[in-house]
Amino acid sequence: MKKQILSIASAMFLAGTMFLASCGKEDTNAPVITLKGDATMSVDFNGTFSDPGATATDKDGKDNESDISSSIVTSGTVNTSSAESYTIKYNVADEANNAATEVTRTVNVVIKNSNMFGAYSCTDQVGGGSVSTFTDVLAAGTQANSLILPKFAFYTNTTPSVYVIVKGTNGTEIDMPSQTVTANGATRTFSGTGSISKDGKKITINYNETTNGSTVSGVNVYTKN
């Protein structure tokens, strides 16, 4: 009789242990972060960036889901006065210290041609020769995102005006498509590439000029006044 009671007690203890174990299932579920908005965004140079943020959900040991968006930790900044690509990071952990997979957003600060309008102090150097200085005023060309350079390469003016295209992920690249103009009474063909400084204050153009079958290389630097 005593042996039977002990067997029943053991069975009840085991069942209780299993019941408690099932009730107290360990939480191993990591939270999930979801971005609001796109994973890659663009913002105008000298504009305003507003982070759309993110949401986070988490399941406990019983798979009950809850919103823990308020616990998200965001890191990273965007400086719209410097044309670069920035990364914003989002992280969160639940009460059981399960960490979500980090989610990131790329924000590209982009220079447009309109950011570059205005007066410039300029230099021109052909080959390793002396440096010539002049001033110029840049404005919009007829091509998309273009700039006209009325006094390019130290010519008083060109007809039509030489133009460049502002391009690239951050608008810091310059393309000078091949173009033929009249300058100082001669027909000249220009082409080249260049760059814009991240702060939007300097344009550097490396160009080739072909006149009467002869080609020379030069560098124009435009510094915003």
Taking CA 46 as the corner, what is the angle to CA 43 and CA 52, rounded to the nearest 5 degrees? 35
pTM here is 0.85
pLDDT digits (tens, 9 = 90+) for 108-147: 999 999 999 999 999 999 998 999 999 999 999 999 999 9
Beta carbons of 40 and 106 less than 8 angstroms apart = yes
Give me the domains of the chain, ranges plus CATH numbers. 27-110 (2.60.40.10), 113-224 (2.40.128.120)
Interval 181-211: pLDDT, tens: 999 999 999 999 999 999 999 999 999 999 9
> DSSP H helical segments within the chain, as ranges?
2-23
CB within 8 Å of 219: residues ≥ 6 apart? 124, 125, 204, 205, 206, 207
- Beta strands at 65-67 and 131-140: parallel, antiparallel or unpaired: unpaired
Cα(119)–Cα(121) distance, integer angstroms: 7
| Conformation bin of residue 195: beta by default, left when phi > 0, alpha when psi is -120 to 50 | beta
Residue indicated by tokens 């029943």: 8
Contact status, residue 93 vs residue 31, Cβ threshold 8 Å? yes
Residue 152 binned pLDDT confidence (cut-offs 50, 70, 90): very high
